[in-house]
Structure 1
Amino acid sequence: MRLVFVENRGKTVFWSAVAQHLAADGHGVGWIVQNPTYRPNGAPGDVFDLGFPKAADLVAAPIPEAVSTDRGRQYFGAGSRHYTFYRGRIADALDSLRPDAVIGEPTLMHELLTIAECRKRSIPYLHPAMTRYPGGRFNILDGDTQIPVAGSDDTWPAARLSDLASAISEARSLPSYMAKPPAMAARMRQLRRVEAQARTTLGWLRGDRFNTPSPARKITLQRALKENLAAWTALARMPDGAGPIILYPLQMQPEANIDVWGRPYSNQVALVRQLLAALPQNGRIAIKANPKSKYEVSPEILALARETDRVILLPLNRSMNDAQAVSTGVVTVSGTVGFEAVFGRGRCLSLRHPVLEYHLPEFHAHSPEDAVARLLTDPQAGRGSPARGADLLAQLVSDSFEGTINEPTYDPNCLSPANLARVTAAFGQVLDTLPLKAVA
């Protein structure tokens, strides 16, 4: 098959290594590159450089649905006048490279536009992403959705599923992204991050003004975050008094998990207002900040807490267990807390978890209003057990593959020969299920 990879900054190094293995297996390889600083030098295949728009290329036009939550426009001041240029260049790239499948992420502006162009042409866009549970596995998802294109059909013994389900329910097993590395590994990671940030700045200097904020903008955003967290601390309190309390854990933004998978609930302030309107007058919303807070801790969420005492900002040092203990139930868009409820850890309804909607609908809500109503009237809504969790794990294992998808900056072991072999084998298995749909 003809495969095209979409450049994704530091992760391109990982995909270059995977591409070499796939090429050795007989697949053709190509690349779509938005930021030339991350051009996959030495990797197999032709490279289509999208280039940067000139002043005459920047035109006013309606914002495409694909980039309705683009972080560049929403947080970095990139505007929208470049979308028409990139749509055209991506179309040219697909027509030139003629892929049977495209491999990439649904994170950056050019990736989201590529997904839309692939969809027009019925070209599969494969998005590999690590699972939250169980650890050490990944899905190959369909475009900008959370729906697997295909799975491994692996099965685990019932005892293994039960043991892990119990560990998750008791918080003895956490997703890999929550694990803290040893001190030496953390120090090495920080050094690699400094190098990666320098490369990102170089990309901005070379012309990437659409996915990358300027150094000045970045400093301004970090200063604003610090000020907003201080304001949060000044407003923070624990709930008191009677009445139902819905817990809403803020999801970090920018992040594809909420910005893309969470649509149409990516505006978390608007979502909190919907939840509040669905509650009786004595009901309140308690908001828990993300432990890795970014720009979702916004002036708008602070203003809402000042506007009404029915919105409670919980102290930053309170754990999820503390927050759940004072709430009637939790509503999340696409947060991990929604999966954990299936295992009996807390009580939660999710708005945008397809695996729950399709396989465990009692943990899914069709709307914010539906979530509130069910949490208040049905004592069993969103309430799981280790046994239910074991059933979910069986599905997650079947839908996923063993291996690690990551950026070497954060996990150099992703480039180990054993891991590359596992990832390549998984792609081989999925590609065998796809029809040839090359662009004519």
Structure 2
Amino acid sequence: MKNIAIVESYLTTRTWVEAINSSSLLVPYILCAQKTELDYYTKHGIPAERICDISMQKFESLQHEHAELYEIALRYEKQFSVKLNRIISMDRILKEKSYEQALCYLGFIAQSVDLFLTKHDVSVIFQESTWAQEIVIAEVAKVLKIKNYFPQTVRIPSSRSCFFEYLSPDDMYQRENACNMEEIASDAFSAVVNKGEKPDYFYLEEPANIANKQNLISLFRQVRMMVSGKKNSMCTPSLHQLILDKVKTAILRKALLETSVVFPAEMVVPSSYILITLHVQPESSIDVYGNTFANQIEFIQAISKTTPAKYKILVKEHLPSVGCRPKGFYKELSKISGVVLVSPKEDSHQLIKKASMVISVTGTSCFEAALLGVPAVTASKMYFSDLMVVDQFNPYKDSVEELLSLSSKIENSPQSRIKKLERILCNSFEGNFADSRSFEAVTERENLEKIRFAFEEVVGCFS
């Protein structure tokens, strides 16, 4: 039996724990930031001694120790590879709190997790990497030399997942007995290139109106947590802010999509262009993995400076982000030399196919572009970087013109692309680790069995 820790992340980790509970080889311990989830796991058979309470309620009960927690945070920072200021800046909610309170909270997380992991001899941690407490837990694990993995779907195909090591979307867990992925890679390649299929998340319900199912569920959950006094204000917005944001977003989105004030009603595609796909923000894919390039306006400004004038720079918005951007965002983008804003309703595959190059911070659009035979680069190194023109592209140092020149010299046959995809998939597992609210099928018994097997292999139960 091996002790493993799961860092609670609402519906996503409920599925993980359910899968692990069916294992005779693993003992799950839970690091719980939400009081409601602590109650959930207790009711579902996880003994209280196997749950580390890092909730806001626990933190607030230590008010008299805050001066000490501040100093504890500073002491831990000396051992961390990421500064606390950067961790706070990555977190959409914590960065809005008072600086002293944020540091005390991170000190509380670090100390609580350190003591808990050490006491229970945890050998591996599985978690997501969105919130500040999750980054701090990953840093503590690194200090304690405990393996830390981030399960995630490989996107292409969405039915397979992989495990990334500490905050590195390019550092995938290497399977000792990797399976032959030739047929699966060929089918996945064909699905994108010949059938025009896109990753599963593309087909999720678009939250275009405030009364849709997803928004109502989120609102109900917030009300329930507020009434019960179990809300963690360090990683969930206030009810007032949630409602205000939803209403404002819905109104602004409707206005932006139904007029041509920002996005052209009819797209006239230029003969030569670079395509840049924007990221949803806040989101871990850019605020954590691509934090250096999190200011997307500055990112595109830098790209523009080294792009030859013969190329337009098409900037395509991500549909869920319409109505969520800061005031003046699109106006600033439109001022950048060569930039043409593209409606989020435009077909991304059609734009990709005609592009001279596709650029994003960490986006799957570059993964799709490479499979479609279009040169692509990401600013952060990714698990699919083998398919890119270069491993990573820093627009503040590198030149788009040089990339365009280099791309013409790279072997780019369908066979070479399939082979590279096969190498990526060799270290993937069957199963989907996503949250059950977005993908109900993840809770089906067959998927839970696949997840359990993946956890057991990664922990080393079969070695």
* 8 Å contact kept, 2:389–2:403: no
User: Deviation string for 1:102-130 (max 9, x for gaps)?
Assistant: 11110122111111111121111121111
Measure, in 2, the Cα distance between the counterparts of 1:33 and 1:294. Answer: 33
Aligned to 1:69: 90
Question: Does 2:105 align with 1:85?
Answer: yes
Measure, in 2, the Cα distance between the counterparts of 1:114 and 1:300. Answer: 36
* 8 Å contact kept, 2:175–2:427: yes
Closer/same/farther in 2, CA of residues 332 and 266 from structure 1, 3 Å limit: same
User: Deviation string for 1:156-198 (max 9, x for gaps)?
Assistant: 46455334323312343321222358xxxxxxxx657644542
Closer/same/farther in 2, CA of residues 429 and 63 from structure 1, 3 Å limit: closer
Measure, in 2, the Cα distance between the counterparts of 1:160 and 1:20. Answer: 30
Report the Cα offset of residue 2 of structure 1: 1.8
Closer/same/farther in 2, CA of residues 2 and 321 from structure 1, 3 Å limit: closer
Correspondence list, 1:16-31, <5 A:
16-22=17-23, 24-25=24-25, 27-31=26-30
Aligned to 1:187: none
The TM-score normalised by the length of structure 2 is: 0.80
Structure 1's unaligned 5+ residue stretches are 182-189, 436-440
Letter in 2 for 1:91: Q
Question: Does 2:158 align with 1:135?
Answer: yes
Closer/same/farther in 2, CA of residues 432 and 21 from structure 1, 3 Å limit: same
| Percentage of matched positions with identical amino acids | 17
Aligned to 1:11: 12
* 8 Å contact kept, 2:436–2:443: yes
User: Deviation string for 1:378-398 (max 9, x for gaps)?
Assistant: 452788443233112211221
Letter in 1 for 2:288: V
Report the Cα offset of residue 282 of structure 1: 6.2
Aligned to 1:216: 240
Task: Give the match's secondary structure for 1:172.
Answer: coil
What RMSD over aligned residues (CA atoms) do the two structures have, in Å?
3.3
Measure, in 2, the Cα distance between the counterparts of 1:382 and 1:225. Answer: 43
Aligned to 2:208: none
Measure, in 1, the Cα distance between the counterparts of 2:51 and 2:359. Answer: 44
Correspondence list, 1:29-428, <5 A:
29-39=28-38, 40-41=41-42, 42-45=44-47, 46-52=50-56, 53-54=59-60, 57=66, 63-73=84-94, 77-80=96-99, 81-98=101-118, 99-146=122-169, 147-151=171-175, 153-156=177-180, 158-179=182-203, 191=213, 194-204=216-226, 206=229, 207-226=231-250, 229=253, 230=255, 233-237=260-264, 245-280=273-308, 284-293=312-321, 297-308=325-336, 310-324=338-352, 327-357=355-385, 359-360=386-387, 362-368=389-395, 370=398, 372-378=400-406, 380=408, 384-428=412-456
Task: Give the match's secondary structure for 1:125.
Answer: strand
Measure, in 1, the Cα distance between the counterparts of 2:344 and 2:213. Answer: 28
Measure, in 2, the Cα distance between the counterparts of 1:17 and 1:331. Answer: 39
Letter in 2 for 1:103: F
Report the Cα offset of residue 253 of structure 1: 1.6
